[in-house]
Amino acid sequence: MSDALQFLMSGLVVGSIYGLIGVGFTCIYNVTGIVNFAQGDFAMVGAMSAIALNVAGVPLWLAILLAIVITSVVAVLIERTAIQPVRGDVMRGIIVTIGVGVVLQGLAAIIWGTDAQPMPAFSGEKLIHLLGATVMPQSLWVIGIGILAMGGLDLLFRRTYLGQMFRACAMNPFAARLVGMKVETMSLVGFVMSGALGAIAGIVVAPIALTQYDSGLQLGIKGFVACIVGGFGGPVGAALGGLVLGVLEAFSAGYVSSGYKNAIAFALLLGFLLFRPGGLLGDYDRVRA
């Protein structure tokens, strides 16, 4: 029983990480209709920037804030230089984001090197014992920030005028322009939010797992699978899909073999694409209505 609880807690923590990345996907998708495969690399840039600033002597809290700003600026530059020229062509936009991810990994290797780097925990490293399971204090940060990000974005997309504008720009940019919406501005705001969320995800995960130039690749893949499992376009679906994926990975690694960990993600991806492409929560528009 204690082993099962430990696997469950580990799965919830890992699933919250995947969910955070998945929630970042929804910011851009709900504005442009593009799946941003560089989302995991935003997390890498945020974490590596915070680590580098902290090593240089900047207090951790200030390093984190500056890293979020840096990643948001990177997202703005990407939107202006790479996404804007292909706006309106979703397929080309997706291909561009894949290329952007490769470029970010190359630049990170040049700037910060290829060695994995640690980051101090936010609240120390004294283990917390809960009902026979053991968790790190940083794990609670991951879960808490994941809940806040999911809840905040869900309220934004469902209950605010800005969220409705985001959705309108994604569904019909031409009609949105006719009623006075600035589609280009909405796209820029979406990328800033996505960059900031990616940075937050990478930073909050960094004290648990070492970060290096290519660590965003796997995070991006798992975040994408989380969106597919939960239902693409909704932050609640992305978070739910992340938790499902994380828990299944934890139990398969614990009871079967850690070698099947990545296979679980691809099996879920293929299964949902074939039999339930709308994900567990279905289409976000129907859920919202």
Residue 95 Cα distances to 72, 100, 129, 187, angstroms: 21, 9, 45, 17
With a pLDDT cut of 90, the percent of the chain lying above it is 23
What is the average per-residue pLDDT within 51-71?
93
Residue 130 has pLDDT above 80, yes or no: no
If we measure between CA atoms, which residue out of 248, 241, 246 comes closest to residue 280?
241
pTM over 0.85, yes/no: yes
* Coil, helix or strand at residue 135: strand
Burial of 255 (0-12, 13-18, 19+ CB in 10 A): exposed
Rounded mean pLDDT, 256-279:
83
Q: Give residue 286's pLDDT.
A: 41
Q: CA of 23: how far to CAs of 3, 35, 128, in Å? A: 30, 12, 27
What pLDDT, on the 0 to 100 scale, is given for residue 282?
Answer: 65
The pLDDT-based confidence of 102 (bands split at 50, 70, 90) is very high
| Domain CATH code at residue 119 | 1.10.3470
Pick the most confident of 61-65, 90-94, 142-146, 188-192.
61-65
Beta bridge partners of 130: 133
Tokens of 34: 């593009």
Provide the 3-class DSSP secondary structure of residue 121: coil
Q: Mean pLDDT of all residues in the chain?
A: 85
Structural domains counted in the chain: 1
| Contact predicate 197/116, CB 8 Å | no
Residue 72: the pLDDT is: 94
Predicted confidence (pLDDT) per residue in 177-201, tens digit: 888 888 788 888 888 988 999 999 9
Rounded to an integer, what distance in angstroms lies between the CA atom of residue 91 and that of residue 262?
26
Structure tokens at 272: 């949902």
State the sign of the Cα–Cα–Cα–Cα dihedral 157, 244, 282, 277.
positive
Structural domain that includes position 210: 2-288
- The string of pLDDT tens digits covering residues 109-126 is 999 988 888 898 888 778
